[in-house]
């Protein structure tokens, strides 16, 4: 499974084709591959996070935690 970047509420395919293995420490098995994103990908995510911050910090913690599930 290849992991996508989550930016501005959407799953976004990274602009690079390099991935690192995500390993289950209990079994040593590869369970996914995570992108080694470019600076541009990271800048896009950081910009979206900065723009969302004011509204997000006012969101009750019980609502925010739902995204982790």
Asked if residue 39 has pLDDT above 90, the reply is yes
Calculate mean pLDDT across residues 54-65.
Answer: 91
Q: pLDDT band for position 2 (50/70/90)?
A: confident
* Confidence check: pLDDT of 68 > 90: no
What's the confidence (pLDDT) of residue 1?
Answer: 84
User: Can you list the positions of beta strands (E) in 1-69?
Assistant: 5-7, 10-12, 19-23, 30-35
Distance CA 17, CA 56 (A): 31
Residue 59 phi, psi dihedral angles, 5° rounding: -75, 130
Please tell me the predicted confidence (pLDDT) of residue 22: 96
């Amino acid at each position: 499974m290849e992991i996508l970047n989550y930016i501005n509420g959407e799953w976004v395919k990274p602009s690079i084709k390099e991935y690192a293995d995500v390993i289950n420490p209990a079994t040593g098995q590869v369970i996914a591959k995570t992108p080694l994103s470019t600076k541009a990908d990271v800048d896009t995510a950081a910009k979206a996070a900065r723009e969302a911050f004011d509204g997000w910090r006012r969101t009750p913690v019980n609502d925010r935690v739902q995204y982790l599930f």
